[in-house]
Structure 1
Amino acid sequence: MELVVPSPEFQSAFAHFYDDFAQNDAENAEYYLEGKTDFSKYVQRLSDEAAGINLPEGYVPCSHFWLIDSTRSILGAIRVRHNIDNDFLALEAGHIGYDIAPSHRGKGNGKFMLKLVLSKAADLGIERALLTADEDNFASRGVIEANGGEFEKIVMGKVFPNPLARYWVNCK
């Protein structure tokens, strides 16, 4: 398995990734809908975000990666925000966010994906990354803890009005 930068060659794999969410985790499928409806525009937007161009208000540069397996299927998506210089990111979202496709959960893919991306975060100059998870999302919290995440505290979100567990992970 490896992390790859989103590119046009993964259009078919992304369609399967999206369909997995649509069928098994509809709540999170919407985040990936643009990739299903206009893949080339979606990939360009992700590339622009990584380069820090055409960013919507309140966004920071953000590098996107997909975890692929030997069949070139997309098992997960992970994002590294280059900084957390606004209130929402500093409190609720953190440096790194990720999703594992529903049919690939519970198999260690999240732990492996986060492990792989930490060196990429270090390459961006991030020494310690903030990660958050819903307080009751024990699977995600386990992924973070398995990668050395140090629990800081539970906070109440403002954008996501639910208790969030905050962790810090060393990237180097």
Structure 2
Amino acid sequence: MIKIDAGDFFLVEPSEVYAEQIREYRQDFLDTDSSMDGCGPLRRYEDPITYISESKKYLNPETLPDGTVIATQFLYVRKADMRLVGMIQIRHYFNDYLSKYGGHIGYSVKPSERRKGYATSMLNAVLPYCKEIGLEKILISCIDGNIGSEKAILNNGGVYESTVYEPRRKFRMKRHKLKRFWIYLSD
């Protein structure tokens, strides 16, 4: 079990300890019709125990779901009250889709916890782990117009590369342009 200290927060892999909070996290997104980016298969699983089990499959090449890549899923937990406020997923390498649209990292902040700088600090906290697994630069994309996500990326050294049209993904019944950014990890 990986646990990363991040000041007033920590990153930890999903476990049964957080099952009820994972259920609440998912419901908050459903209630607000928000996109569950960086949550792995959370949207598909109402039962948090099943979600936790499925998330672990992304860590092992032998159990990796078809069409996906090795990925580490983290919960972002506030130490003061031990509440889950965000999720972030690190993809260790690309498949074709990720190289064009998704990138190495996906993340989200619980809708009821937004506009507190959590995305910026969560992204910053995971960068050393990315370097530890051998990444030298990280591609991150966000929906064009998602100012909060773009600020989090820029605050962590993101360099704009391009905007692409993603033809498959639908959110609120419309397709999106995605802005692509690179974060270069230096010594």
Structure 1, residues 104-128: CA drift from partner, whole Å, max 9, x if none? 1110000000001111111111110
Q: Tell me which protein shows more strand as a share of its residues.
A: 2
Counterpart-to-counterpart distance in 2, 1:143 and 1:68: 18
SS for the counterpart of 2:168 is coil
Q: Normalising by the residue count of structure 2, what TM-score does the alignment of the two structures yield?
A: 0.84
Counterpart-to-counterpart distance in 2, 1:33 and 1:88: 19
2:76: which partner in 1? 67
Q: How does 1:1-172 map to 2 (within 5 A)?
A: 1-28=9-36, 32-35=42-45, 37-70=46-79, 71-84=81-94, 86-160=95-169, 161-172=175-186
Q: Runs of 5+ in structure 2 lacking a partner?
A: 1-8, 170-174
Counterpart-to-counterpart distance in 1, 2:62 and 2:140: 24
User: Displacement of 1:46 after TM fit?
Assistant: 0.9
Q: Does the 8 A contact of 2:165 with 2:176 survive in 1?
A: yes
Moved more, 44-53 or 70-79: 44-53
Q: Tell me which protein shows more helix as a share of its residues.
A: 1
User: Displacement of 1:22 after TM fit?
Assistant: 2.1
Q: Runs of 5+ in structure 1 lacking a partner?
A: none
Counterpart-to-counterpart distance in 1, 2:62 and 2:55: 10
SS for the counterpart of 1:159 is strand
Q: How many residues align?
A: 170
Moved more, 49-58 or 90-99: 49-58
User: Displacement of 1:158 after TM fit?
Assistant: 3.0
Q: Normalising by the residue count of structure 1, what TM-score does the alignment of the two structures yield?
A: 0.90
User: Displacement of 1:79 after TM fit?
Assistant: 0.3
2:5: which partner in 1? none
User: Displacement of 1:34 after TM fit?
Assistant: 4.4
% identical equivalent positions: 29
User: Displacement of 1:19 after TM fit?
Assistant: 2.2
SS for the counterpart of 2:167 is coil
Residues 53 and 74 of structure 1: CA distance in aligned 2, closer, same or farther (over 3 Å)? farther
